[in-house]
Structure 1
């Protein structure tokens, strides 16, 4: 009903193990007929089942709840690593169970030292066909272990469980009654019979005989990992790798971009320098510059009545053309400013102005 507990590597820890190992695969007889299994001389899986479990030859005074047998020694069958089971409840089940080489992905988690075993993925790779009477040197690597594990499972599951006329439970002394399979409802909830003194419903974790047999084989395989051969700890140096951001660039494209920016800046500097040389001075749009270039009587007269600069601009002001230069005046020093076009003379570099 559970796996043997391991020694936690740390009180709170977890790790995942991927490995190949044996696992039983149980199916309804009709479904299993599609599997490519070695039947020996039997022409069908149904024939192999009937030769292995001759239901009519069971004790006539026995109310059978469960019976199972392996066909590996049945004449004309010789199916290796196989088990047939019969559950004659109100909905009888004929089960075919075979040992497969299986890929396991298992998470072992420890919370405060308490172990949880979670099968994250289970994939049946291929059915096994390992004979138990070979010479030791003729076994391929791993075959002895697979055959030994099936042999142990077969001894547990191969029995006949049922009540006799005196309500004595046949098979009460078997190892099978100690497994979770015997607690499955197809066996324990038969009308007129009770296994309450031997098992409880929670023991059949997956709710059916076929799934419980598979569950038993999984627990068998996983429990082997509790041995020191598989679970011992080894200290080893490790390298912790941290991520870093790396970038690369095209040197030519970068140089072109910078050269273009420098070129535009130099052109702007050249334009400004030439304007300074041509004009002889530099100015800005500051208030002082605007005040200096707009103070004259002509503009005062033009702006009379438009003191706030309100929009729209009066038409008489919009139509007026102004020019920047030297205002015509009687002053000894000419005044440079914006003025009416006809009253402004050309401003030349080096001229004195106020």
Structure 2
């Protein structure tokens, strides 16, 4: 047995029988190989080696599967990015739907972003490997830097190797690109948001429409009784407003606002044009003013004898302008009794009133300032309404211009025209319900019983000169009184009542401020406006409030604009396009550099074990021929199927340690 075999046997005494068998086969294969001399090569041997090198170089060729895969990965990433942009653009403005659909959208977007990321990174990795091998072929570099170069795509710590950054600059740049591209995938999913918006649509819907101008609907607004003895038995005699009309008028006057109407949808808008009653007021002429004074005097004379009127601050009534048979002309216009249905024939569609109003130059009045008497006349008109109704989250909002007056509405006495008579019935019932809230009086009064004294505040202003103003008996104290439903309405805050409340505040003995806190609140509620403004506003508010009742405002098909809150997708493409434009641009640059490296290397490489092992000069796996293509792709199938065995020998001269072919 040769010395070499003795050493081999000695080195394998402690190896399993199976491994000893494999090593013997390897030893026998080595016997057939030519022993490589470690001496300096001769000239002929050097020529042979050069010939072998030229032969190997001539056998080099690019393995096109590698660059094609690099390009396809780039194109796949580009396509996935475009697909993500297209998908998000398709969802933009679409309704979100249920939670399952929303989650699906996020899953698809995340999946496309992930595919884009791994495709572009994979493409850059191909280019990086080729540029790395190209740099290693032309650099003198330490093993530590080589390790960092092969490890930089999986560990950021490799960037701390200065030698790698210095000698493998291009490869390091491509590795940095591979690390930065995934940042784009963090930005893109956040560009698809869910916003709550109002979707606008329109549809024909039944909504309440006021029918007061329709002659055939008068019986829903006014009480009537058969009028016996008339030309036509169909004629109904007017006897006042129906309870529903009065109730709605009282509610509207009390709140000072249009009542809440039925909303077709929680968010809806529609417009209606219709005819309805409207009361308009103007300064009364001298004739009406004289009649108001006469009526006020008659009302004062009708007081209880034990009470004396000190000051009249408000007097309003409906004049009885028709059917005054038996009343002397010099008696003046009579006051219609709106609380008596039998007095309905002796009324009118007018409202006359008198009250003291401060001059415009008196901005902050006090108890000593004199207010001038002011006369107001209000008439009932048929007017054209153009109203915009809208609801936002169920909150009502109504806007309209001032109603356009068409004609004065006559009181229902002329029965020659049945249609006109029936129309005036409903309108007159409206005027009656409105006037019932305003007629009456306000003033200061004093008891006339003997041995009494007057209030020290107002007594000096209103008391007779001969009447005593001091004493212990306070029976004759001046008091204020409101004999009108207007005290229950928002109109009480009108600036036309400032005279009454200034004196009343002083009458109560208050010295701080001109008005009480309650009066200031009422003034703010009415915005301190005058009656000639507030009464027309109240009339239009009552007209619109009638729509709340289905008997007075039956449903009519109307085009309604609806706004429905919906969750929709909102896509912000700028962020996506910017992020992916940068990622794709750098990936494209990497591909161009990679292609250059492929042609420069004249071969295709990867960072597999075989590529590293076969390109390492002087460190080779025993049993492989020196002509194994220096690690280029593709790997020879025969070589790929060879098995390696790692072993160690006691005697380094007998082969040392490392991988050996089996």
Q: Which residue of 2 aligns with 1:185?
A: 495
Structure-2 change in CA distance of 1:9 and 1:56 (3 Å)? closer
Deviation at 1:143, TM superposition (A): 1.6
Shift of 1:100: 0.9
Instruction: Encode CA deviations 1:208-245: one digit per residue, 9 max, x unaligned.
Output: 1111111221111111011124666567999xxxxxxx
| Contact 1:28/1:95 (<8 A) preserved | yes
Partner of 2:537: 215
Residue 91 (structure 1) shift? 3.4
Residue 398 of structure 2 corresponds to residue 88 of structure 1: no
Q: Are residues 168 and 236 of structure 1, via their aligned partners in 2, closer, same or farther at CA, if it must alter by over 3 Å?
A: closer
For 1:20, the equivalent position in structure 2 comes to 275
Distance 1:116 1:222 in 2: 12
2:435 aligned partner: 154
Note if contact 1:9-1:233 (Cα within 8 Å) is conserved in structure 2.
no
The question of 1:71 aligning with 2:382 is answered no
Q: Which residue pairs with 1:118 in the alignment?
A: 399
Q: 1:226 aligns with which of 527, 539, 548?
A: 548
Q: Take 2:277 and 2:485, find their aligned partners in 1: how far apart are those partners? A: 21
* TM-score under structure 2 length normalisation: 0.31
**CA 29–10 in structure 1, closer or farther in 2 if over 3 Å, else same:** same
More helix as a share of residues = 2
Is 1:106–1:119's contact at 8 Å kept on the other side of the alignment?
yes
8 Å CA contact 2:492, 2:522 repeated in 1: no
Closer, same or farther: CA 108–118 of 1 in aligned 2, 3 Å: same
State whether residues 67 and 87 of structure 1, in contact with CA within 8 Å, keep that contact through their aligned partners in structure 2: yes
User: Aligned equivalents of 2:378 and 2:276: distance in 1?
Assistant: 16
Per the TM alignment, residue 68 of structure 1 is displaced from its structure 2 partner at its CA by 0.3
C-alpha separation in 2, matches of 1:143 and 1:6: 25
The Cα of 1:46 is off from its aligned counterpart by 4.0
Distance 2:405 2:356 in 1: 28
Residues 1:140 and 2:421 aligned together: yes
SS at match of 2:260: coil
Shift of 1:137: 6.3
Say which SS state the counterpart of residue 401 (structure 2) adopts: strand
| Structure 1 gap ranges (5+) | 34-43, 239-354
Q: In the alignment, does 2:266 pair up with 1:11? A: yes
Distance 1:154-1:201 versus aligned 2 partners, 3 A rule: same
The alignment yields a C-alpha RMSD, in angstroms, of 3.4
Conservation of the 8 A alpha-carbon contact between 1:132 and 1:147: no
* Structure 1: distance between partners of 2:546 and 2:559: 28
State the secondary structure of the residue aligned to 2:503. coil
Pick aligned residue for 1:203 from 520, 525, 542? 525
The answer to whether the 8 Å contact 2:292/2:354 transfers is no
Describe the SS at the equivalent of 2:425.
helix
Between the aligned partners of 1:232 and 1:108, the Cα distance in structure 2 is 16
Rate the CA distance shift 1:80–1:17 in 2: closer, same or farther, 3 A. same
Question: How many equivalent residue pairs?
Answer: 225
Indicate the SS of the match to 1:107: strand
Structure 1, residues 120-164: CA drift from partner, whole Å, max 9, x if none? Answer: 241111112213797996862322111111111122111101233
- Partner of 1:129 in structure 2? 410
> Would the aligned equivalents of 1:52 and 1:84 in 2 still touch at CA under 8 Å?
no
| TM-score between both structures, scaled by the size of structure 1 | 0.55
CA contact (8 A) 2:391 2:397 kept: yes
Seen in structure 2, the aligned counterparts of structure 1 residues 47 and 133 have a Cα distance that, compared at 3 Å, is farther
Name which of 144, 155, 169 aligns with 2:480.
169
Counterparts of 1:62 and 1:185 in 2: how far apart (Å)? 21
CA–CA separation in structure 1 for the residues paired with 2:431 and 2:404: 18
Structure 2 match to 1:108: 389
Is the 1:182–1:188 contact (alpha carbons within 8 Å) kept by the matching residues of 2?
no
Residues 27 and 225 of structure 1: CA distance in aligned 2, closer, same or farther (over 3 Å): same
CA distance in structure 2 between the aligned counterparts of 1:210 and 1:111, rounded to whole angstroms = 32
CA distance in 2 between partners of 1:19 and 1:236 (Å): 13
Partners in 2 of 1:236 and 1:22 — Cα distance? Answer: 22
Q: Give the Cα–Cα distance (whole angstroms) in 2 for the partners of residues 237 and 207 of structure 1.
A: 37
Change (3 A) 1:237 1:79: closer
Aligned to 2:378: 97
Moved more, 143-152 or 160-169: 160-169
Separation in structure 1 between the aligned mates of residue 294 and residue 415 of structure 2, nearest angstrom: 24
Retained in 1: the 8 A contact 2:388–2:400? yes
Q: 3-state DSSP class of the match of 1:228?
A: coil
Asked if the contact 1:106–1:121 (Cα under 8 Å) also holds between the matched residues in 2, the reply is no
Bigger CA drift: 213-222 or 130-139? 130-139
